[in-house]
Amino acid sequence: MKALKLDRNAIGQWLSAMAGERDIYVPAPDGPAKGTWTLLTDYSMPEIKPGVPARPVKNFLFPQPETLLKFSTVPTDPNCCLPSEPEENGRKNVVFGVRPCDARSIGLNALACKADTYYQANMEKNAIIGLTCSQVCSTCFCSETGGSPMGTEGCDVSLTEIDGSYIARAMTERGEALLALAESSGKEVTDSDISAVEALEEKARAGSDEIRNPEEQLRAKDLMELYNAPFWQELADRCINCGACTFLCPTCYCFDIQDETLHGKGRRIRCQDSCMFPLFTLHASGHNPRGQKIQRVRNRFMHKMKYFPDRFGPISCVGCGRCVRDCPVNIDIREVMRSLLHI
């Protein structure tokens, strides 16, 4: 696959060339939009801080909200009850500066969303340009969950900063086509550039934490034996069911579907939801299989470390650390993993 060396000027020219075809979103700089993704309007290399932005990349894959279809509520309208096609999604995007953990989450969610045509269309719509991590934050633990600060999974193009320039490696055919737009401004990579990237990859492997291959370690234990372990109640006592961990988590994909109507027109939308809310599982009969907080807290962690891997293979956590960083009562999934492994 194609690789180029791009200095900051060359990145600016590349962004400008890509903007002819796609909208480009980058992590917002400090200010009112901090933590979100913002449309790039000046085509220079954005300042991207270490770590992940508050909002995960899933917001491009599960737009908040997403119109599934439109309809009319006017009785005389011959099409009143017939849903019309969803609106054309418009221009495609480049999501630029995506950290390896976030990029990896796209493929994990796709395992569960194989039949979700909206998710698949959004994968098609959003090209991912990743940026590997030269600095690992205190809440990051991607290496413990099967990823790496140098990971490229889920990226169309992966950028690695070396001495103020970027080694851009195409990872997919779509990435190859995008990187071709930088051909005139970039330079060929040299053997020493490749060696520098490989050295960083080796360093990332060596820096992996004590919990390696957690899928294997977690699978080696029968987690169902811990279904009634006392620590679930301790976690539930602390949790306030705010749902922040699930909305911020790149690998949580619960959603709700609602119809909205106004002035004879209607639309069916889906929006992100949270399994931490009691209403999420409330049946029309009034029965609620997860009416108690301990059931919801246990389900969140068991889904990530037992149910999802049982069905799809990998654990459903990429170690981005958002839930660790933003839980108001300091519930830390790393401690839960250790509890599950060491009880």
Residues at the site binding ligand SF4, with contacts judged by CB under 6 A: 239-245, 248-251, 276, 304, 317-323, 327-329, 331, 333
CB of 323 to ligand SF4, least distance (A): 3
Nearer to ligand SF4 by Cβ, of 160 and 246: the residue is 246
Nearer to ligand SF4 by Cβ, of 7 and 332: the residue is 332
Asked if 183 contacts 162 with a C-beta cutoff of 8 angstroms, the reply is no
Question: Which amino acid is it at 56?
Answer: P
Q: How far apart are CA 100 and CA 121, in angstroms?
A: 22
Q: How far apart are CA 60 and CA 23, in angstroms?
A: 12
Write out the two tokens for 299.
Answer: 């389900």
Nearer to ligand SF4 by Cβ, of 120 and 139: the residue is 139
Nearer to ligand SF4 by Cβ, of 174 and 219: the residue is 219
- Annotate the chain with three-state secondary structure: CCEEEECHHHHHHHHHHHHCCEEEEEECCCCCCCCCEEECCCCCCCCCCCCCCCCCCHHHHCCCCEEEEEEECCCCCCCCCCCECCCCCCCEEEEEEECHHHHHHHHHHHHHCCCCHHHHHHHHHEEEEEECCCCCCCCCCHHHHCCCCCCCCCCCEEEEEECCEEEEEECCHHHHHHHHCCCCCCEECCHHHHHHHHHHHHHHHHCCCCCCCHHHHHHHCCHHHHCCCCHHHHHHHHCCCCCHHHHHCCCCCCEEEEEEEECCEEEEEEEECCCCCHHHHCCCCCCCCCCCHHHHHHHHHHHHHHHHHHHHCCCCCCCCCHHHHHCCCCCCHHHHHHHHHHC
CB of 295 to ligand SF4, least distance (A): 13
